[in-house]
């Protein structure tokens, strides 16, 4: 999937997977497949900059997406992260304003420990 996206969008990416020996129940893994694919695709589409932008930012031209799995107590933690610039709060605020949403609510929702 990432190879096809790289060719289609002109972005180069390395995929690093750690914790491959972490066991996950087959039924749970089947249920996680679509959400995990969506998260990886989102990291590529929205997280990683194009090579020229990355170079201008002092980063390697090739982006990095990492998938890791590890046990945390009696739970399995699966993490997907990229080395992109992150979410632009200004863009989110502008989009919220355009949609007539209260941007302070969006900011509050993204803060740690703000879950209801």
Q: What is the pLDDT of residues 23-57, one digit of tens each?
A: 999 999 999 999 999 999 999 998 999 999 999 99
98 or 63, which is more confident: 63
pLDDT in tens, 76-110: 999 999 999 887 778 877 887 888 877 676 666 66
Of 81, 56, 58, the closest CA to residue 68 belongs to: 81
Domains and CATH numbers, the chain: 2-85 (3.30.565.10), 86-116 (no CATH)
Per-residue confidence (pLDDT) for residue 21, from 0 to 100:
92
What SS3 class is residue 18? strand
The pTM of this model reads 0.78
Q: What is the 3-state secondary structure (H, E, C) of 69-84?
A: EEEECCEEEEEEEECC
Query: Quick one: average pLDDT of 51-72?
Result: 96
C-alpha distance across the termini of the chain, in Å: 35
């Amino acid at each position: 999937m990432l190879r096809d996206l790289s060719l289609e969008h002109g972005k180069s990416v390395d995929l690093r997977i750690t914790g491959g020996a972490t066991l996950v129940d087959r039924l749970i893994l089947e249920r996680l497949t679509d959400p995990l694919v969506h998260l990886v695709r989102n990291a590529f589409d929205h997280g990683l900059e194009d090579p020229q932008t990355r170079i201008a930012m002092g980063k390697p031209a090739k982006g990095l997406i990492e998938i890791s799995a590890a046990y945390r107590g009696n739970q399995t933690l699966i993490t997907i992260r990229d080395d992109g610039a992150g979410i632009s709060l200004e863009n989110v605020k502008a989009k919220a304003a355009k949609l007539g949403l209260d941007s302070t609510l969006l900011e509050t929702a993204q803060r740690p420990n703000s879950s209801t």
